[in-house]
């Protein structure tokens, strides 16, 4: 998807021949419609005799050296040939060999290990760990299979601008039969061509509703460098089907969505239907206050409309990080250091937070609400998004502090909360579409393939390397069995496809954390009351009850573009034990843990988790309609 993560009014006058080196379309002619990038990929200086001639008007806007880079990229476009199968096959062999060599020095007992690698039918630019135990993957129908070109139909108008989605069922293994296609609704997009196609919901935002359904908002209208669609969809994991809702009031391409303590979703940011360079400050809420919060599996929010939220959210850059913290407020952490805000869902107001101390804009990178015991998270750790800054930054009590650094800076990384309360960073790159050797060159520096692990004291260490480099559009989720599923990055998947002619053009890797190498797991049997109210008792069975030292809830995640608003880790109080039964206490309130489905893990003193069971925290209101006098559309 062509991406220009830039700001500034001056560059709206740029020529359409300018190419954004930090964008997806670094090898296609593109219209830069905002100012100089904070994270352009400068892949080394070429000798002056080899430099292509820069466009003088472009040089006036972005500088001579940068304009020469763009000219060199345009020159490379003309030299790019097709990408043969032999290259893909040999690349994959080389990556497997270098992975094995790099990981020979890592002890699985200490750093975990990569085990499985298999093909997938989808690129998985978007991912969701569903409460059924299946994983939803969705993206777009490609228009190109050469990884040195843009495969996404971002600037395509008409039927080729289409979305696609699949379910992976880990219980069915890793073959083609473990995937099921779940096509989105066929929609006649408002592009004037009257060409219905599966909804182009790629580059949307999403979060979970309390009944386990996934709300998906926005997508690609097509054309003008990336135009926002007004799409509002819900995926029902119980019936495995999509519902189409009434459109949002504004188009959104690259929006963020978060579920608050009231179980309703707030939708912010994104480029509007007018095209790139028109970020919207309008905030919308779903469901509207005149509708109940969907709580039961049978609550189908089909045909519903989002409604306007009174406060605005004037983020200049897309996909801001959004989190609902212990105080019940929504924290909007923008990629610009000085765009940090707190939203109150009850009063529909916005207040300013202190600027992030790095003083720089950050590209796509991670942010995680840190575990904080039984009462829910009260702080967020921001990391990644700047290849020159390995530091991490914590926001707590409205104030920022610089925390322990990772080994190096990386963008496009995914950082996950693990069942034992530690963090794991996987994936990453030098810049958008740049893995360290120039844009649209699939050869990647090995370091971007290494995971990085953070212990409960905040210390980081590098771990083993994954098979594929995965940067832009990479994703990862924790599975209910405690393993980590890693996927995404369509360019790398195309560059390493063992058979480009079949329908399995994606790939998935499985990482087994160190805690799965520490001996037998605790056992979790039956969760006797899987749908529970706040502060109520949760009774479970376990034939290893005496060995259980900790019980935690881990929220299933849904992610895209290094954005994951649903992550959450809470400890549960162990109230009593009796034989093979353990009595736990649910979180105290929806502020501690928004209503919805959570994975329940039992852990022993070595930190080894059981296979998870599922628990639904029910909204305190029982899903009743709130108030009146608001303005649903």
Asked whether 214 and 234 are in contact (CB, 8 A), the reply is yes
Mean pLDDT of 280-294: 97
Rounded to whole angstroms, how far apart are CA atoms 368 and 144? 34
Q: Are residues 305 and 177 in the same domain?
A: yes
Q: Are residues 574 and 493 in the same domain?
A: no
Q: Are residues 182 and 265 in the same domain?
A: yes
The pLDDT assigned to 621 comes to 62
| pLDDT at 255 > cutoff 50 | yes
Q: Are residues 537 and 449 in the same domain?
A: no
| pTM of the shown model | 0.88
CATH number at residue 613: 2.60.40.10
Greatest Cα-to-Cα distance within the chain, rounded to the nearest angstrom: 80
The pLDDT assigned to 81 comes to 55
Burial (0-12, 13-18, 19+ Cβ within 10 Å), 481 = middle
Cα dihedral 124, 127, 130, 135 in deg (nearest 10): 20
Q: Is residue 39 part of a domain?
A: no
Asked whether 420 and 72 are in contact (CB, 8 A), the reply is no
The pLDDT assigned to 35 comes to 28
Q: Is residue 418 part of a domain?
A: yes
Convert the pLDDT of each residue in 424-466 to its tens digit: 999 999 999 999 999 899 999 999 999 999 999 999 999 999 9
In order of 24, 140, 308, 389, the CA distances from 158 in angstroms are 20, 13, 29, 41
Collapsing DSSP to helix, strand or coil, 256 comes out as strand
Q: Is residue 15 part of a domain?
A: no
Parallel, antiparallel or unpaired: strands 186-187 and 330-333: unpaired
Q: Are residues 264 and 182 in the same domain?
A: yes
Task: Answer with the one of 259, 287, 319 that is the final residue of a domain.
Answer: 319
Q: Is the dihedral of CA 373, 376, 382, 384 positive or negative?
A: positive
Higher pLDDT, 50 or 86: 86
Q: Are residues 481 and 547 in the same domain?
A: no
For residues 550-572, one letter each, b for 16 or more C-beta atoms within 10 angstroms of the residue's C-beta and e for the rest, the string is bbbbbbbbbbbbbbbbbbbbbbb
Convert the pLDDT of each residue in 228-244 to its tens digit: 999 999 999 999 999 99
Rounded to whole angstroms, how far apart are CA atoms 624 and 227? 36
Q: Are residues 492 and 556 in the same domain?
A: no
Q: Are residues 181 and 283 in the same domain?
A: yes
The pLDDT assigned to 245 comes to 97
Task: Answer with the one of 487, 516, 545 that is the final residue of a domain.
Answer: 516
Rounded to whole angstroms, how far apart are CA atoms 161 and 216? 17
Asked whether 598 and 555 are in contact (CB, 8 A), the reply is yes
Q: Is residue 266 part of a domain?
A: yes
Convert the pLDDT of each residue in 568-600 to its tens digit: 999 999 999 999 999 999 999 999 999 999 999
pLDDT class of 54 with cuts at 50, 70, 90 = confident
The structural domain count of the chain equals: 3
Q: Are residues 164 and 208 in the same domain?
A: yes
Q: Is residue 337 part of a domain?
A: no
Q: Are residues 418 and 489 in the same domain?
A: yes
Q: Are residues 100 and 229 in the same domain?
A: no
Half-sphere exposure of residue 46: CA atoms within 13 angstroms, side-chain side: 19
Higher pLDDT, 37 or 347: 347
Q: Is residue 598 part of a domain?
A: yes
Q: Is residue 85 part of a domain?
A: no
The pLDDT assigned to 69 comes to 62
Q: Are residues 508 and 607 in the same domain?
A: no
Residue 452: which domain range?
90-133+412-516
Task: Answer with the one of 319, 339, 372 that is the final residue of a domain.
Answer: 319
Higher pLDDT, 294 or 30: 294
Asked whether 402 and 393 are in contact (CB, 8 A), the reply is yes
The pLDDT assigned to 82 comes to 84
The pLDDT assigned to 68 comes to 65
| pLDDT at 90 > cutoff 90 | yes
Tallying the residues shown for the chain, one arrives at 633
Q: Is residue 358 part of a domain?
A: no
């Amino acid at each position: 998807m062509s991406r220009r993560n830039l700001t500034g009014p001056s560059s709206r006058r740029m020529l359409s021949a300018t190419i954004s080196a930090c964008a997806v379309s670094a090898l296609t002619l593109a219209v830069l419609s905002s100012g100089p990038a904070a994270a352009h990929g400068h892949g080394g200086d070429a000798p002056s005799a080899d430099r292509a001639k820069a466009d003088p008007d472009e040089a006036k806007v972005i500088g001579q050296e940068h304009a020469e880079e763009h000219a060199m990229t345009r020159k490379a476009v003309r030299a790019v040939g097709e990408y043969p199968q032999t290259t893909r096959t040999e690349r994959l062999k080389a990556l497997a060999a270098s992975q094995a060599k790099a990981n020979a020095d890592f002890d699985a007992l200490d750093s975990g290990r990569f085990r499985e690698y298999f093909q997938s039918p989808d690129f998985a630019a978007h991912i969701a760990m569903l409460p059924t135990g299946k994983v939803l993957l969705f993206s777009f129908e490609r228009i190109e299979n050469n990884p040195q070109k843009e495969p996404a139909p971002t600037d395509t108008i008409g039927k080729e601008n289409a979305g696609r989605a699949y379910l992976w069922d880990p219980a069915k293994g890793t073959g083609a039969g473990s995937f099921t296609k779940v096509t989105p609704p066929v929609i006649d997009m408002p592009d004037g061509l009257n060409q219905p196609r599966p909804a182009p919901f790629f580059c949307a935002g999403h979060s979970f509703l309390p009944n386990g359904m996934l709300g998906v908002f926005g997508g690609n209208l097509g054309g003008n460098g990336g135009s926002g669609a007004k799409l509002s969809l819900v995926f029902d994991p119980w019936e495995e089907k999509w519902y189409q809702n009434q459109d949002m009031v504004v188009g959104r391409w690259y929006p963020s969505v978060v579920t608050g303590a009231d179980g309703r979703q707030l939708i912010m940011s994104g480029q509007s239907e007018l095209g790139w360079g028109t970020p919207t400050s309008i905030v919308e809420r779903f469901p509207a206050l005149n509708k109940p919060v969907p709580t039961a599996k049978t609550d189908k929010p089909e045909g519903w409309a989002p409604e306007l939220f009174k406060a605005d959210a004037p983020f200049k850059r897309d996909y801001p990080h959004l989190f609902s913290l212990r105080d019940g407020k929504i924290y909007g952490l923008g990629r610009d250091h000085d765009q940090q805000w707190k939203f109150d869902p009850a009063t529909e107001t916005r207040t300013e937070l202190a600027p992030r101390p790095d003083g720089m804009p950050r590209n796509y990178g991670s942010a995680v609400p840190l575990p904080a015991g039984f009462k829910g998270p009260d702080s967020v750790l921001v990391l990644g998004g700047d290849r020159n800054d390995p530091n991490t930054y914590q926001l707590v009590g409205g104030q920022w502090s610089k925390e322990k650094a990772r080994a190096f800076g990386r963008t496009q990384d995914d950082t996950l909360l693990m069942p034992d309360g530690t963090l794991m960073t996987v994936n990453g790159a030098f810049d958008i579409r740049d893995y360290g050797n120039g844009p649209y060159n699939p050869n990647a520096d090995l370091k971007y393939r290494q995971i990085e692990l953070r212990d409960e004291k905040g210390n980081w260490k590098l771990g083993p390397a994954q098979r594929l480099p995965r940067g832009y559009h990479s994703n990862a989720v924790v599975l209910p069995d405690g393993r980590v599923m890693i996927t995404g990055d369509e360019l790398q998947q195309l560059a390493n496809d063992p058979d480009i002619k079949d329908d399995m053009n994606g790939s998935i890797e499985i990482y087994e954390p160190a805690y799965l190498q520490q001996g037998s797991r605790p056992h979790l049997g039956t969760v006797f009351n899987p749908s529970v109210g706040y502060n109520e008792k949760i009774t479970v069975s376990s034939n290893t009850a005496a060995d259980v030292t900790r019980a935690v809830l881990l929220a299933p995640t849904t992610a895209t573009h290094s954005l994951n608003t649903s992550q959450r880790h809470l400890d549960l109080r162990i109230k009593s034990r009796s034989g093979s039964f353990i009595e736990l206490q649910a979180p105290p309130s929806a502020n501690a843990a928004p209503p919805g489905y959570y994975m329940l893990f039992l852990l022993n003193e070595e930190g080894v988790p059981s296979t998870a069971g599922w628990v639904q925290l029910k909204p305190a209101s029982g899903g009743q309609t709130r108030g009146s006098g608001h303005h649903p559309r």
